[in-house]
Structure 1
Amino acid sequence: MGMPSINIIFRELAKTFEQRNDNGIVALVLANNAGMNPKEYRPGDDLDSSIAKDAKTQIQFAMEGGREKPQKVICYFCQAEYADLDTVLDELDNVKFDYLTFGSELQEEQKTKVMKWIKETRESGKKIKAVLANAKADNEGIINYTTESVTVNGIEYEADNFCSRIAGILAGTPLTMSCTYTVLDDVESCTKLSKKEMDEKIDAGEFIVFRDGDYIRVARGINSLTTVSDTKTDDFKKIKMIDVMDHVSTDLTDTIKNNWLGQYPNNYDNKCLLLANCQEYLDGLVSRTILSSASIEIDIEGNKKYLESKNEDTVNMTEDQIKKALTGENVFLSSQMGILDAMENFNIDIVV
């Protein structure tokens, strides 16, 4: 029997998807600061004087944001070289955040451990992501930042020391926007790449920044996913689309946990009340131009399979009878949603 389950499955049939809400939260793990309790900072907050200078820089990077600021940055302080990484990951299991990142270099085995943890955590239903340097993960939950170096205030930062800045940009990007071409006002220069090299890196699932005239910009808001399938199409490569999916999943799951699970008899009338609750939320996302359309209904096929598993004869049942049938402790719903992408590619035909 196990624990009660809430499974929200997102599939792209042709143009089906989902959504999100407020700006995100960054979980920033810092080494060489063992013994300090976790701290939360919001943009504009003063940092504790006890925090080391390098760690302060990383926190400030994360709070800088991009289009907007992140909600907050939650800081976890580790031993040297992240020796207690396992302990921190265990603590983060029960912390609400959107983007995990680190303030300095991870060893390869540590990076592999973090990627595995992110993938497993996402599969369990907690939709988090990580920004890591040079992490070829082929997964929508991992952003692979690979720009070799950037210069801020005359100081050069390698990729491992700039992931916090990228995480802050992503967490500070509203759901109606993408981070593509976000300007990094604080960055003076970055590793130079040719157009061909940038195209190749983006196609390989690498998140990079580049010089565009007087500005340093995000090249394209993509994650590390490169392998597509019938259930994971090209849209899954886009950070914006995944952010929307993740936030819809989280919002609906939290709503059901807090307001429905175990609190109502499982009959057709109460299922209709639940559907109305979910539809109202989805309609709000449509009105905010996060979704183009959205609907949710009882999953007829799910009900049918359940009834047949209980040796019920569904052959002579009408669709309406299957829809209204009792399904024990299980509620089967299906949703179709269209996620609005941001404008990124422009073709202008000028005739003179």
Structure 2
Amino acid sequence: MGLPELTFSLKKAADNVATRVSSGIVAMILRDAKANGLHTINRESDIPSELGAANIAAIKRAMLGYITKPTTLYVSVIGADADIKTGFQALAIHSYDYLVGPVDIASADATALAAQVKAQRTKRYVGKVILPNVAADDEGVINFVSSGIKVGEGTFTAAQYAGRIAGVLAGTPAYCSATYAALPEVTGVDTLADPDSAVDAGKLFLIDDGRQVKLSRAVTSKTTLAEDDPDMLKKVKLVAALDLIRYYAITTVEDEYLGKCANTYDNKCILLVAFSDFFASLEAQNVIQEGSSGAELDAEAIRTYLLGIAEEAGDTEEIARIKALTDEALRKEDTGSHVFLYLYGHVLDAMEDFHITLEAQ
């Protein structure tokens, strides 16, 4: 695999990242007696007419979007008695950015769906799931807690309106945040006693400021950070961009590079150059901060890998040799089939917190 082909593929992947974080894809699991199966919806005419009125309305709400509209909806329709996992597993053939459950999702199903998403996100790209009142403490789960959502003559629960929120988040471009996104159709909502504490607790909700009803700060349910966890895992916008960068980088390399060339230092350098171009494209599109990104061979990870082999073999001379190697020398060592990369870049946030001083004279 030569440099031009891989570089072209990763530049195309960078364009895909920018496109997806500008207008994402929503997945829905619905329960209905009819139209069971998987449906792809790009326009209202694609909605199965035999679905119940509540489900059709939920799909239409998700399609409203925000600054843009979701590019596609994948809808998995299951029967009333089917396991929620069935609907989730059916969506595995698609890549999507936000997932919601049935409009009448039970608490047990919401908890089960959160567990499914958390488990799968460690293995493959799975979008963030928006669930009613599920404090999952995970960046892959968005805990939507509003109640008494008034639209026209109707009043909706968090579960019924989760699809609308998914559409808002999917319709938020990379350079924006969904924080304070207005929902013009909503005329009222139950007020939380302590909104600031709710945000700190990883809750997403609607605010009625007297002029309009809008989304609160767009946070995930992540509240507990491990020592090596970045604070960005608490923000929907930043997690969305990070997820897509990881997804397109990994899948492009798997499709275009994995198994197609010898694991030499020269070929590793070709891969690094291609990744540098990938990040440069993302910098140019304001997904990550200019000058913040890069790609290099991970010397520390290589040292750990080689030491593990030497220690397992009980080769004291090899252990001493590896420990004495410089980082640059380590990067040129033979690592079998393994390639250890260190990729970095600062994902840009949106303007949310303003500090304004007005001096009147």
TM-score computed with the length of structure 1 as normaliser: 0.89
Question: Structure 1 stretch 322-331 or stretch 300-309: which is displaced more?
Answer: 300-309
The answer to whether 1:328 aligns with 2:327 is no
Question: Structure 1 stretch 300-309 or stretch 137-146: which is displaced more?
Answer: 300-309
- Match among 175, 199, 212 for residue 209 of structure 2: 212
Provide the secondary structure at the position in 2 that maps to 1:26. Answer: strand
Number of equivalenced pairs: 331
Gaps of 5+ in 2: 1-16, 311-317
Partner of 1:245: 242
- Counterpart residue identity of residue 75, structure 1: V
- The answer to whether the Cα contact below 8 Å between 1:127 and 1:250 also exists between their aligned partners in 2 is no
- Counterpart residue identity of residue 59, structure 2: I
Partner of 2:309: 310
Partner of 1:94: 93
- The answer to whether the Cα contact below 8 Å between 1:103 and 1:162 also exists between their aligned partners in 2 is no
- The answer to whether the Cα contact below 8 Å between 1:119 and 1:141 also exists between their aligned partners in 2 is yes
Matches within 5 A, 1:164-179: 164-179=163-178
The alpha carbon displacement at 1:52 in A equals: 2.0
Deviations 1:205-238 (A, max 9, x none): 1100111232111111001111123222432111
Partner of 2:252: 255
- The answer to whether the Cα contact below 8 Å between 2:55 and 2:103 also exists between their aligned partners in 1 is no
The alpha carbon displacement at 1:21 in A equals: 4.3
The answer to whether 1:234 aligns with 2:231 is yes
- The answer to whether the Cα contact below 8 Å between 2:44 and 2:60 also exists between their aligned partners in 1 is no
Gaps of 5+ in 1: 1-18
- Counterpart residue identity of residue 209, structure 1: L
The alpha carbon displacement at 1:43 in A equals: 4.6
Distance 1:46-1:21 versus aligned 2 partners, 3 A rule: closer
The alpha carbon displacement at 1:263 in A equals: 0.9
The alpha carbon displacement at 1:49 in A equals: 2.2
Question: Structure 1 stretch 129-138 or stretch 49-58: which is displaced more?
Answer: 49-58
Question: Structure 1 stretch 338-347 or stretch 119-128: which is displaced more?
Answer: 119-128
- Counterpart residue identity of residue 236, structure 2: I
The alpha carbon displacement at 1:44 in A equals: 5.4
Distance 2:116 2:28 in 1: 16
Distance 2:108 2:298 in 1: 43
Partner of 1:148: 147
Partner of 2:313: none
Distance 1:255 1:45 in 2: 33
Partner of 1:185: 184
Provide the secondary structure at the position in 2 that maps to 1:112. Answer: helix
Partner of 2:347: 339
Distance 1:286-1:242 versus aligned 2 partners, 3 A rule: same
Partner of 2:79: 79
Question: Structure 1 stretch 104-113 or stretch 203-212: which is displaced more?
Answer: 104-113
The alpha carbon displacement at 1:102 in A equals: 1.8
- Match among 261, 267, 270 for residue 264 of structure 2: 267
The alpha carbon displacement at 1:329 in A equals: 0.2
The alpha carbon displacement at 1:269 in A equals: 1.0
Provide the secondary structure at the position in 2 that maps to 1:346. Answer: coil
Partner of 1:112: 111
- The answer to whether the Cα contact below 8 Å between 2:27 and 2:96 also exists between their aligned partners in 1 is yes
- The answer to whether the Cα contact below 8 Å between 1:43 and 1:64 also exists between their aligned partners in 2 is no
Provide the secondary structure at the position in 2 that maps to 1:327. Answer: coil
- The answer to whether the Cα contact below 8 Å between 2:25 and 2:71 also exists between their aligned partners in 1 is yes
More helix by share: 2
Distance 1:200 1:29 in 2: 31
- The answer to whether the Cα contact below 8 Å between 1:182 and 1:217 also exists between their aligned partners in 2 is yes
Partner of 1:199: 196
Counting aligned pairs with the same residue, the percent is: 30
Deviations 1:149-172 (A, max 9, x none): 212232111111100001111111
The alpha carbon displacement at 1:87 in A equals: 1.8
- The answer to whether the Cα contact below 8 Å between 1:103 and 1:163 also exists between their aligned partners in 2 is no
Distance 1:316 1:187 in 2: 66
Distance 1:333 1:21 in 2: 25
Deviations 1:266-311 (A, max 9, x none): 1111111111111111111111111112111111112222222232
- Counterpart residue identity of residue 169, structure 1: V
Distance 1:130 1:225 in 2: 13
Provide the secondary structure at the position in 2 that maps to 1:269. Answer: helix
Distance 1:145-1:315 versus aligned 2 partners, 3 A rule: closer
The answer to whether 1:286 aligns with 2:294 is no
- Counterpart residue identity of residue 325, structure 1: E
Distance 2:258 2:29 in 1: 34
Distance 1:230-1:278 versus aligned 2 partners, 3 A rule: same
The answer to whether 1:319 aligns with 2:319 is no
